[in-house]
Amino acid sequence: MLPTPRKYFLTAASAEGNSHLTAFDNALLAGGIGNINLIRVSSILPPGAKYDAGLAIPAGSLVPVAYGHIISETPGELIAAAVGIAIGANSLGVIMEFAGHCPEQEARDKIKEMLDEAFGSRGIEMVDSKIASVEHRVEKIACALAAVPMWY
């Protein structure tokens, strides 16, 4: 069994590459999470987890991460990614992620809508929220990524 993460941060970045994989890798590097191994998780922030903007995760670590990303190889296309967290009055946290062919503000608006719906569905009052987002105009092959890495 894995331990429950106690810290998290939000990141959003974009980058170009010569392939889909290198565009993704370069976006991870630009977001400060390129030297860790991502374990993709669903969208619950552990109760009591604390936001730590300066969180340093050791290279090579296996890290639970909720993320959304999009890759495009259509020059001139606008892509965006966003991630948001919200914490309820009972300390339950929800993470929502989105990526699409749209401006950054639209991605942010979709995150806000999804967080509101998630708390409405749970019947819990939202007391805090944070959103990170990015948009990118594709030159060759690009990736936009937004993520919530969690650590112990």
Q: Which of 19, 35, 37, 61 is catalytic?
A: 37
Active site annotation includes 42: yes
Please compute the mean of the pLDDT values over residues 105-110 and round it to a whole number.
98
Active site annotation includes 43: yes
User: Which residue in 59, 69, 50 sits closest to 9, CA to CA?
Assistant: 50
Q: At residue 2, does pLDDT exceed 90?
A: no
Domain ranges of the chain: 7-54+61-151
User: Is residue 59 within 8 Å of 32, Cβ to Cβ?
Assistant: no
Q: At residue 21, does pLDDT exceed 90?
A: yes
Q: What is the pLDDT of residue 90?
A: 85
User: Which residue in 130, 97, 122, 121 sits closest to 111, CA to CA?
Assistant: 97
CATH number for the domain running over 7-54+61-151: 3.50.20.10
Q: Which of 16, 43, 73, 129 is catalytic?
A: 43
Confidence tier at 25 by pLDDT (50, 70, 90): very high
Q: Which of 14, 72, 97, 135 is catalytic?
A: 97
Q: Which two tokens stand for residue 143?
A: 């990736």
CA distances from 123 to 68, 74, 111, 112, 117 (A): 26, 42, 18, 16, 10
